[in-house]
Amino acid sequence: MIEVTEKAAAELKTLLEQEGKPELALRIFVAGVACSGVQYGLALDDEVGEDDVTVESNGIKLVMAKDIEKSFSEGSIDYIEDENGKGFLIRNPSAGGCGTCGGCH
């Protein structure tokens, strides 16, 4: 199951309150493919389609296409703050990489 960390959930709840739209879900989508594997994106969404799956983690409603759920089943969404800035971080240990560029981790 996809996990939203407590820190990410708190940030998302604050964001939803600021927007005045606590009913919105967090949509996970495929943003592209790179040598390190599939790259995912996040967006706030109020629509759930026929081919979507909805799950909940730490009080956050997540929506994604069925095919993403299969490939992202062990993923997590975290919120980080460091010297480089702050933001949400998507981790998917099953994404893997192609191994051809030599610099991917």
What pLDDT does residue 101 have? 47
What pLDDT does residue 56 have? 94
What pLDDT does residue 21 have? 92
What pLDDT does residue 94 have? 67
3-class state of residue 81 by DSSP = strand
What pLDDT does residue 28 have? 93
What pLDDT does residue 77 have? 94
Tens-digit pLDDT profile for the chain (105 aa)?
789 999 999 999 999 999 899 899 999 998 888 777 778 899 999 999 999 999 999 999 999 998 887 777 788 999 999 998 999 999 887 665 554 444 444
Q: How far is CA 59 from CA 48, 63, 93, in A?
A: 17, 13, 23
- Whole-structure pTM over 0.75, yes or no? yes
Give the DSSP H or E segment for 52: strand 52-57
